[in-house]
Amino acid sequence: MAERPIRIVFLDAATLRPDTALAPFSFPHVLTRHDRTAPQETAARLAEADVALVNKVRIGAAEMDAAPHLGLIALAATGTDNVDLEAAKARGIVVANVRDYARATVPEHTFALILALRRSLLPYRASVLAGRWQAAAQFSYHDFPIADLAGATLGVVGSGSLGSRVAEIGRAFGMTPIFAARRSGSGGRPDAVPFPEFLARADVVSLHCPLTPETAGLFGAAEFAAMKPTALLINTARAGLVDVEALAEALERGEIAGAGLDVAAPEPPPAESPIMRLATRPNVILTPHVGWASREAVQGLADRLVANVEAWAAGTPTNRVA
């Protein structure tokens, strides 16, 4: 009797770009794609699955218990906070993620935000469309601040592949990168700058660290008060690293000059949420978690996602996190 084909369920396929091609699997299989899956739908959709493909849908112990055939949770992402890793380990379920696919796209998005804010690109564009150039009656006008990156200090929180690449790009602009030491003072790079000194020196602070109990709320009222009034905060990592209410108050008081944000909690944020109110400020840019989403990066992620499933099916799982 022939073996049953491997049943693969993609719970949130619409999180990938519509022009992304998912390569066919080489083994007998049945692939079911759902554009999105609500929390109450997850267990039923995984009931017969051998493999779950998932980006942000939560898979906890209850969902695993409802899926007796589940052997692999293949994440279409690097982050693993939506999967209960301990529960997976206890049940012998392999969890694999995709790493380093965003080493070009996230740093480029980071610098898009930095440049737009340092040069006031959005306020200038809005003023041109409103007729300000004609009203100025001269070749140029200077309504909004403009500052070069050359000579500025780039403060990077997190020295993994993304933080290191951001530092490399910063050097190419003539910036001086510094890396933040952990608040606890333990571990990290030998050249890391103590956190209070880091805050005082940085002209731009860019976040590239995971969200952990140690980093939750890393930037709040005290940290903003310690920063330069001309400094920018850029967060393309995790929303929980920043106290949004404290950020709004810091901007209102002029304790920092602006912020570029690509993450929120929850996502999408409610229309009346603090971060949406913050986004109406001229010195704030909020983008919808697209720093990772270049055409090249997402296709690379999809290719590695398929490779992780192929490796698991061959009995040699790769990129295991559980």
Please indicate, yes or no, whether residues 88 and 70 belong to a single structural domain of this protein: yes
Q: What is the rounded CA–CA span in Å between residue 188 and residue 88? A: 29
Closest of 275, 217, 287 to residue 251, by C-alpha: 275
Q: What is the rounded CA–CA span in Å between residue 192 and residue 186? A: 11
The CATH code of the domain that includes 309 is 3.40.50.720
Check 267, 295, 296, 320 and give the catalytic one. 267
Six-digit token string for 83: 């999967």
The reply to whether 142 belongs to the active site is no
Model confidence at 186, pLDDT cuts 50, 70, 90, reads low
Q: What is the rounded CA–CA span in Å between residue 232 and residue 110? A: 12
b/e sequence 87-110, b meaning 16+ C-beta within 10 Å:
bbeebebbbbbbeebbbbbbbbbb
pLDDT at 187 over 90: no
Overall average pLDDT of the 200-218 stretch: 96
- Summarize pLDDT for 126-160 with one digit per residue, the tens: 999 999 999 999 999 999 999 999 999 999 999 99
The reply to whether 238 belongs to the active site is yes
The reply to whether 289 belongs to the active site is yes
pLDDT of 1 reads 36
Model confidence at 185, pLDDT cuts 50, 70, 90, reads confident
In a domain, 309, yes or no: yes
Can you give the residue range of the structural domain that contains 210?
105-286
Q: What is the mean pLDDT of the chain?
A: 96
In a domain, 320, yes or no: no
Please indicate, yes or no, whether residues 140 and 242 belong to a single structural domain of this protein: yes
- Summarize pLDDT for 58-81 with one digit per residue, the tens: 999 999 999 999 999 999 999 898
Check 109, 208, 238, 304 and give the catalytic one. 238
